[in-house]
């Protein structure tokens, strides 16, 4: 397993290939539907006026995302009432939900990686080639195990979105992932879909 420290350089990103296992160490941020929608509407397409809080959060997350990764995750967090946050479970969310937004978010923030499960589509794959960046697949069903690699919660932004949808800034150590979309236009998810379609066509032909 290859160990990589965040933030990630372009050279390291381009050296990663589909199928490679990676252990990530450093600071990353979670973000799901509400976060991506907020980013697009407020700072990329600018269809809504940013509040003072929006601007403060934007300035806080820019250095984290520049060369960094965003994790599609709705964590279970203890200590929300006291502010002594601890991740209890941190499994990945299905990523395809963010396909309409992800490419634009990657370009805007210079994101080098997206972590989730299930892969993403052609828009995100195109952005991976342009930025450059990769898609990291995290193991679904291993939420408690993954949470063990979260060493501390540094802060949280937009908690008003709700615990699963907020932006949690976390420090991780040897966070296990697999490269399933790389910066060279390769997608394991697209390949699996193509092979599945071929198998289906053969089955239908027999029937």
Q: Show the tokens assigned to 149.
A: 């690699």
Query: Among candidates 125, 70, 65, which has minimal Cα distance to 92?
Result: 70
Select from 102, 94, 154 the least CA-distant residue to 131: 102
Q: Residue 74, Cβ neighbours under 10 Å: how many?
A: 20
Residue of 36, 137, 157, 189 marked active site: 36
What tokens does 67 get? 């060369």
Those residues whose C-beta lies under 8 Å from the C-beta of residue 129, and which sit 6 or more positions away, are 183, 184, 185
Q: Are 118 and 97 in contact (CB under 8 A)?
A: no
Q: Is 72 a catalytic residue?
A: no
Distance, in Å, from the CA atom of 74 to the CA atom of 80, rounded to the nearest integer, reads 14
Show the tokens assigned to 154: 């540094």
| Measured distance CA(192)–CA(99) in Å, rounded | 18
Q: Which residues are catalytic?
A: 36
């Amino acid at each position: 397993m290859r160990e990589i420290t965040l933030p990630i350089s372009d050279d390291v990103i381009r050296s990663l290939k589909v199928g490679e296992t990676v252990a990530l160490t450093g600071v990353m941020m979670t973000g799901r539907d509400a976060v991506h929608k907020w980013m697009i509407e407020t700072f990329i397409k600018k269809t809504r006026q940013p509040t003072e809080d929006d601007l403060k959060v934007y300035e806080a997350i820019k250095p984290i995302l520049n060369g960094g990764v965003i994790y599609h995750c709705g964590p279970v967090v203890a200590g929300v009432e006291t502010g002594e946050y601890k991740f209890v479970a941190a499994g990945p969310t299905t990523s395809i939900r963010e396909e309409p937004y992800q490419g634009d978010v990657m370009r805007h923030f210079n994101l080098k990686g997206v972590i989730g499960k299930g892969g993403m589509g052609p828009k995100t794959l195109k952005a991976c080639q342009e930025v450059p960046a990769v898609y990291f697949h995290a193991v679904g069903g291993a939420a408690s195990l993954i949470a063990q690699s979260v060493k501390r919660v540094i802060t949280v932004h937009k908690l008003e979105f709700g615990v699963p949808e907020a932006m949690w800034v976390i420090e991780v150590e040897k966070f296990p992932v697999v490269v399933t979309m790389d910066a060279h236009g390769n997608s394991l998810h697209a390949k699996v879909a193509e092979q599945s379609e071929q198998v289906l066509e053969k089955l239908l032909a027999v029937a």
